[in-house]
């Protein structure tokens, strides 16, 4: 398989050119209703096309939430395929938010669905869960390297339930979350300007100084906007790793639809605020 340039290098470049912003594509029923759309495949398609039209040529990353497409069955997945293709054609990188995690041949099949260059849902990166053991992700890691794609591994998530697993202390004295970050540091060792194996770390978590977040790869940071975090919070949460943070905003941008200009304006405001916060750090 002939792969792309490594995801980390492509991500660093597009973040520098367009600003470090990831916009989620989360067409849940209440948001479709706010846009005046039906909770139907047609509503799903109009929503997704509008977001791509509005921002795919200007934001660094778009992150479709696979579940909101899958719930419509094969027709919804077809819309997702089109969304991914058109977003990438417009110059945005696509992170597929599917949070896959399994073992052996099943994990390999999930990886092929999203990370094989010829797959209809091929994405620049995929979110994955390491909580069947980090080693269970090996098929996805291998295919990502081969295809020039990346992974974002759940490490320190913003949902309150996550702490009972992620902050649990192992026999060696490290937390589970710190162990995940340690594995990612090894994956990214020697990669410049940015490794392709990132972590998902919530921007709402406050002081994370007890964790070494500077693991050589990107940090996908949900929580900006509707969940309560602001761009100004980023330096205090992420410390010296803030230069590699990719903040994710979903409702904070999407609530301005279906007006294309309003969506663009909202995304540009967030990108400017995030850039200013990271520059001052």
DSSP 224: B
Cα atoms in the 13 Å half-sphere on the side-chain side of 270 = 31
Which positions are annotated as active-site residues?
99
Q: Are the C-beta atoms of 158 and 223 separated by less than 8 Å?
A: yes
Nearest to 85 by CA among 60, 120, 113: 120
Nearest to 95 by CA among 65, 67, 72, 135: 65
Dihedral of the CA atoms 158, 136, 214, 227 (nearest 10)? -10
Q: Are the C-beta atoms of 22 and 58 separated by less than 8 Å?
A: no
CB atoms within 10 A of CB 240: 11
In the numeric block, which tokens belong to residue 203? 């921007």
CA 239 to each of CA 147, 184, 213: distance values in angstroms, whole numbers, following the listed order: 31, 18, 8
Q: Cα–Cα distance between 15 and 203 in angstroms, integer?
A: 18
Residue 32: CB partners within 8 Å, gap ≥ 6?
A: 38, 39, 43, 44, 47
Residue 189: CB partners within 8 Å, gap ≥ 6?
A: 195, 216
Q: Are the C-beta atoms of 148 and 7 separated by less than 8 Å?
A: yes
Q: Which residue has the tokens 């409702």?
A: 251
Q: Cα–Cα distance between 103 and 166 in angstroms, integer?
A: 20
């Amino acid at each position: 398989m002939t792969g792309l340039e490594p995801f980390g290098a492509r991500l660093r470049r597009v973040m520098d050119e367009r600003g470090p912003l990831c916009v989620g594509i989360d067409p849940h029923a209440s948001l479709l209703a706010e846009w005046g759309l039906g909770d139907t495949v047609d509503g799903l398609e109009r929503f997704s096309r509008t977001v791509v039209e509005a921002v795919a040529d200007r934001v660094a990353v778009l992150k479709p939430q696979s579940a909101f497409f899958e719930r419509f069955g094969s027709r919804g997945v077809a819309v997702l395929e089109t969304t991914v293709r058109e977003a990438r054609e417009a110059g945005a990188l696509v992170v597929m938010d599917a949070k896959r995690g399994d073992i052996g041949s099943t994990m390999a099949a999930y990886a092929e669905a999203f990370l094989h260059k010829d797959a209809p849902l091929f994405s620049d990166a995929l979110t994955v869960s390491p909580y069947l053991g980090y080693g269970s992700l090996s098929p996805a890691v291998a295919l990502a390297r081969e295809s020039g794609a990346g992974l974002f591994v759940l490490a320190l998530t913003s949902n309150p339930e996550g702490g009972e697993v992620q902050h649990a202390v192992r026999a060696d004295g490290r937390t589970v979350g710190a162990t995940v970050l340690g594995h990612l540091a090894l994956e990214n060792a020697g990669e410049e300007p940015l490794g392709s194996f990132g972590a998902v770390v919530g921007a709402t978590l406050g002081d994370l100084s007890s964790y070494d977040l500077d693991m050589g790869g990107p940090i996908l940071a949900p929580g900006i906007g509707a969940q309560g975090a602001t761009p100004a919070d980023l330096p205090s949460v992420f410390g010296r790793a803030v230069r590699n943070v990719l903040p994710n905003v979903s409702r904070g941008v999407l609530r301005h639809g279906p007006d294309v200009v309003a969506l663009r304006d909202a995304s540009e405001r967030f990108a400017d605020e995030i850039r200013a916060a990271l520059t001052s750090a």
